[in-house]
Chain A
Amino acid sequence: MNDVLTARKTNEDIWSENPLGLDGSRVIDRRIYVDADIFAAEREKIFARTWQWIAHESEIPDFGDYITATVGGRPIVVSRGDEGRITAFLNTCTHRGAILAAHPRGNSRGSFTCFYHGWCFDTEGKFTTAPLAEAYGENLGKGCYDAPTIRHDVFAGNVFVSLDTNVAPLEDFLGAAGPLIRAYTGRHEALGRVRWLLKGNWKLWHENFRDNYHPMFTHRTIGANYQGVHIEGANIDLTGGHSLLAFPSQGNPEPIRSLMRNITGKQPDPGISSLRPRGQGNPDLRHNIMAVFPNLDFQFPNTGEGGGYLQHVTPTSADTAVVELVVFGEVGEPPEARQARLDRFLDAQASSGKISGDDTEAARRCSVGFGTVNEVRWSNMDRGQTPGREGIKNDEYSLRAFYDAYKRHMGDSLPAA
């Protein structure tokens, strides 16, 4: 286990000196959302030292298939080669630096050929040939020109990489999140990706998935749906920085009908999708929203039945990020179910979605509000007073789980209060 992960005792919490009268584990220093030095430290201490989700195996099924990504600011390639082997390597030509794979997804046909001077690399990033090599004499053989490989592992079809050669094994890192991921994606295939810009710090997006206090206010249909309903569900710290929100389908379509009638001045038809009765069907079914430290989220039914999606957020600066969402369906699901998923699954998601559109706006508004960081330094993260790691749905055990791990990784890079 990394040194930086040695526990800092609660009473030594770097945020314990705050004007809100709260334990340091229950507040957030807003400088972490805006400070360029903290952002630079996050890249090295978090993104370069944790496991990062890159792809699902089903996205690179054939020899030569590849996917590119950025991890801790480094361009990387995940590539499938001989005998189905997957390799991850840095996406740079060792000659002069140009990226070897220029597209988000593609097929190398077995060789990554740098477009600049034609140097060639195989599916594992190994240097193979350079054009007109005689001009180098014997010198090309004196050094290694392979694109450096990086550590990778595959869990339930998900390809993760880490820039840290000493990182804990992936399954240990995932901990209690592992069995859930296996249920979510173990018998599934990826159906496509959609990505969008976030006008805000990357943590705002990840926090949003751990926060089930906001939906009834940010999302008007959810607020209406819950009117007069005793909201059930749990907010659970899974340890290791991971967390789970689990809750049943509940709600009442009538207030949604009133909301739409008031807004449009027209009577909605009972058949519209937001008015479908909730709480029907399998009583054991739960919506799961699981967050994996530091930047990965899954939304699936607890059984994994049917399908779901994951999202990961990649920071591009202290106050901008790219969110990418990957939709999954069960392998072999009936064609009608597959088509319905392809047609309507994203209806609520992405910056075009009926739910995530407002979540994206929430990040923007917080980001603007952080212009007051010198005057208003602290955010409250205190919901849920029951000791332990589990509370009700709209408590904040999940958020505190993230920041506990965050502070341990960041260590001395966080400024004192």
Chain B
Amino acid sequence: MPLDLAEIIRPTSARPQAAVDAEAALAVTALIYKAARLADDRQYLEWMDLFTEDGEYSAITYENLIYKGLRLFRDVGRNALYERVAFLMGVWQVPRGKTVHLVSNTEVLATEDPNAVQALSSFIMTRTADLEHTVLHAAGRYVDRLERRDGVWRFRDRLVIVDSNLLPPEFTELL
């Protein structure tokens, strides 16, 4: 699917007048926070399990989002997520840094489907490499679609919009 900038910035598929029930909003927000913690704790396999079997995870710079939609990567489905996890766990020889993801300003939006919501969050991420002081590594927005299946909320789709158009050298961390 081509990226729809207007839809990403101001989701129209969400029902603006519909309220998300408090329980769903709480569960979804907790899921988004859990994804941040698992990434920071390098529990990558557990992070992968927060996605539906057909879930996808992708990233794009803001510059390319508003140009022609060239993504940094797009992992669709469990196999692609597994491959990313394998790279994070040691296929890449780039050393893992210690990361902190701070996620805030989360806005949970209802959709026509009571078992699906959209969520927009801002994030900043720091990285601490061996023998280096902590640096601001990335900042941007998560654009999430989440689904409740068998009573459990999972990510159906996470798009990470990276604000910077100049990436740092060690940009292989989970965003």
Q: Which of B146-164 contact A (CB under 8 A)?
A: none
User: Once the chains bind, are B169 and A198 in contact (CB under 8 Å)?
Assistant: yes
Which residue on A lies nearest to B90, using beta carbons? A263
Which of B61, B165, B172: most chain A CB closer than 10 A? B172
Q: Which residues of A contact B64 (CB under 8 A)?
A: 192-194
Interchain CA distance A357-B97 in the complex, whole Å: 14
User: Once the chains bind, are B67 and A192 in contact (CB under 8 Å)?
Assistant: yes
Pick the contact of B79 from A191, A269, A339, A342 — CB < 8 Å?
A: A269
Q: Which residues of B contact A350 (CB under 8 A)?
A: 72, 167, 171
User: Once the chains bind, are B166 and A354 in contact (CB under 8 Å)?
Assistant: no
Our count of residue pairs bridging A and B at CB distance below 8 angstroms stands at: 131
A264 interfacial contact with B, CB 8 Å: yes
User: Once the chains bind, are A195 and B165 in contact (CB under 8 Å)?
Assistant: yes
Q: 1/0 contact trace for A340-375 toward B, CB 8 Å?
A: 001111110011111001101101100000000000
User: Once the chains bind, are B72 and A264 in contact (CB under 8 Å)?
Assistant: no
Q: Which residues of A contact B79 (CB under 8 A)?
A: 268-269, 271-273
User: Once the chains bind, are B70 and A263 in contact (CB under 8 Å)?
Assistant: no
Q: Which of B73-131 contact A (CB under 8 A)?
A: 73-74, 78-80, 82-83, 85-87, 89-95
B133 interfacial contact with A, CB 8 Å: no
Interchain CA distance A364-B68 in the complex, whole Å: 31
Q: Which of A248-267 contact B (CB under 8 A)?
A: 259-260, 263-264, 266
User: Once the chains bind, are B172 and A351 in contact (CB under 8 Å)?
Assistant: yes
Pick the contact of A263 from B2, B59, B86, B172 — CB < 8 Å?
A: B86
A-B contact pairs, 19 of them (CB 8 A): A192-B68, A192-B69, A259-B91, A260-B91, A263-B89, A264-B85, A264-B86, A273-B80, A342-B2, A342-B68, A347-B73, A347-B74, A354-B87, A354-B91, A358-B92, A358-B94, A360-B169, A360-B170, A361-B169
User: Once the chains bind, are A191 and B68 in contact (CB under 8 Å)?
Assistant: yes
User: Once the chains bind, are A345 and B70 in contact (CB under 8 Å)?
Assistant: yes
Q: Which residues of A contact B20 (CB under 8 A)?
A: none
User: Once the chains bind, are A361 and B94 in contact (CB under 8 Å)?
Assistant: yes
A197-B92 in contact given A345-B70, A346-B70 (Cβ < 8 Å): no
**Chain B proximity of A179: nearest CB distance (Å):** 27
Q: Which residues of A contact B89 (CB under 8 A)?
A: 263-264
